[in-house]
Amino acid sequence: MSVSIAKQGYQLGHGHDDHDHEQVIYQETRDMRLLGFVLFLCSDVVLFSSFIFAYIYLRTTVAPIWPPMIDGHQLPRLDTAFAAVNSVVLFGSGVTMHYALENWKHGTRAMYNLFMGLTILLGAMFLGGQAYEYAHAQIGGWSGNTFGASFFTLTGMHGFHVFVGVVFLAVLWWQSSRGVYDHERYFGLTAGTLYWHFVDVIWVALFFLFYLW
């Protein structure tokens, strides 16, 4: 048998005998979860892409002019300056999230707590900013016209993701204070960070599509 194994170029075992068995199980389980989580984010990207497609389609092939006309008036553009400030808040939270994870890895707990707290705070501020913007947008509401429909649906979906993210991070923070993670095993924090960056990246696209275009 061993001859035919060699013939097949067959190689089992990867020389990890020195590794602790339990550590291997942890790593493999983590890698599987990570892959699953990334796949989930990919399918989430398709959800946003589909609505972005809808927006582009309605704007470029259906509407004669953009922003559309309602009752003989053209709707105003959105307030880019305010949204830019709000974007900086969200991107800033991406930076603090990065440092939170790094500090966790290096075991600097106090800094971790600071950055994690900042991230959650900035996330909440972004949501507040968005609420303010919703209250002041003069584009005829969610169900008024296709501009409002695309804008409120897409940013609303994004805002919902941010909201889930804030809750997610709060839970992670609580878990890490309870000793669920240590400095070598912190899959939850990795997933949270990935998710948070994902939400950031989606916002880049939305900011470009709604405020700069």
Partner 1 sequence: MATIAPGVKTGPYHAVLDHIHPEPTSFIRKYIFSIDHKVIGIQYMITGGLFFLIAGMLAEVIRYTLLQPQGQMGISAATYNGVYSMHGSAMVWLVIIPLVTGAFGNFVMPLQIGARDVAFPWLNLLAFWMFPVAGVILFSSFLIGAPDAGWTEYPPISVQGPPGTTLWCIAIFLIGVSSTLTGINFIVTIYKMRAPGMTLTRMPLFVWAQFATAGLSFIATTALAAALLALFCERVFNVPFYDPSRGGSPVLWQHMFWFYSHPAVYIMILPAFGIVSEVLPTFSRKPIFGYKMIAFSTVAIALLGFSVWAHHMFTSGMVPWLQLPFMIITMLIAIPTGVKIFSWVATLWGGSIRWTTPMLFATGFLITFTLGGLTGFFLAAVPADYHEHGTYFVVAHFHYVLYGGSVMGLFAGFYYWWPKMTGRMYNEAMGQWHFWITFVAFNCTFMPMHWLGLMGMPRRVPIYDPAAWYVFWNQFASISSFVLAASMLLFAYNFWSSFRSGKIAGPNPWGARTLEWMISSPAPYYNFKKIPAVLATPYDFGNPLPYLGLEAAEGATEATPTHSSHPVPTY
Query: Which residues make Cβ contacts (< 8 Å) with residue 131, sequence separation at least 6?
Result: none
CA separation for the pair 11, 164 (Å, rounded): 44
Q: Closest distance between partner 1 and the C-beta of residue 18, in Å?
A: 10
- Shortest approach of partner 1 to residue 152 CB, angstroms? 8
Q: Within 10 Å of residue 40's Cβ, how many Cβ atoms?
A: 13
Instruction: Give the integer Cα–Cα distance in Å for 110 and 81.
Output: 35
Binding of residue 14 to partner 1 (CB under 8 A) = yes
Burial of 52 (0-12, 13-18, 19+ CB in 10 A): middle
**Token digits of residue 124:** 């909440």
Which amino acid is present at 46? V
String of contacts with partner 1 for each residue 59-88, x by CB under 8 A: --xxx----x--------------------
- Nearest approach in angstroms of CB 112 to partner 1 is 29
CB of 34 to partner 1, least distance (A): 9
Q: Does 12 bind partner 1 (CB under 8 A)?
A: yes
List interacting residues with partner 1 (CB under 8 A).
1-2, 4-5, 8, 10, 12-14, 16-17, 19, 21, 24-25, 27-29, 31-32, 35-36, 39-40, 42-44, 46-47, 49-51, 53-54, 57-58, 61-63, 68, 142-146, 148-149, 152-153
